[in-house]
Amino acid sequence: MTRTRTSTALASLAVGGFAIGTTEFVTMGLLPQIAEGVGVSIPQAGRVISTYALGVVVGAPLLAVLTARVSRTRLLLVLMAAFSLGNIASALAPTYETLLVARFAAGLPHGAYFGIASLVAASMVDPSRRGRAVMMPLLGLTAANVIGVPASSFVGQELGWRAAYWFVAVVGLVTVLLVWRRVPQVEATAGAAPRSELRALASKQVWLTAAIGAIGFGGMFAVYSYIAPILTEAAHWSQRSVPLALALFGVGMTIGTLLGGRVGDWSVPGALLIGFTATLLTLLVFPLAAASGWGIAIVVPLLGVVSSITVSGLQLRLMDMAGPGAASLGASLNHSSLNLANAAGAFAGGLVIEAGHGWTSPALVGAAMAAVGLVLSVVSVLAQRRARARPDADRVRAAEPAQVPA
User: Cα separations (Å) of 134 from 131, 310, 312, 356?
Assistant: 5, 13, 7, 41
Look at residue 133 and tell me whether its pLDDT is greater than 80: no
Rg of the Cα atoms in the chain: 21
Q: What is the DSSP letter of 146?
A: I
> Rounded to whole angstroms, how far apart are CA atoms 322 and 340?
19
| Ordered domains of the chain (ranges, CATH) | 3-389 (1.20.1250.20)
- Structure-derived torsion over alpha carbons of residues 144, 149, 155, 156, reported in degrees to the nearest 10: 140
pTM strictly above 0.85: no
Region 8-14 average pLDDT: 89
Q: Quick check: helix, strand or coil at residue 295?
A: helix
Q: What is the DSSP letter of 183?
A: S
pLDDT band at residue 174 under the 50/70/90 scheme: very high
Region 399-406 average pLDDT: 52
> Rounded to whole angstroms, how far apart are CA atoms 344 and 328?
24
> Rounded to whole angstroms, how far apart are CA atoms 6 and 344?
37
Q: What is the pLDDT of residues 65-107, one digit of tens each?
A: 888 778 888 999 999 999 999 999 999 999 999 999 999 999 9
Among 26, 28, 46, residue whose Cα is nearest residue 227: 28
The pLDDT assigned to 26 comes to 84
Q: What is the pLDDT of residues 314-373, one digit of tens each?
A: 878 887 787 666 767 777 788 788 878 877 888 888 889 888 888 888 999 999 999 999
Least confident of 34-38, 132-136, 388-392: 388-392
* Residue 80 near residue 109 (C-beta atoms within 8 A): yes
Which is higher by pLDDT, 259 or 106? Answer: 106
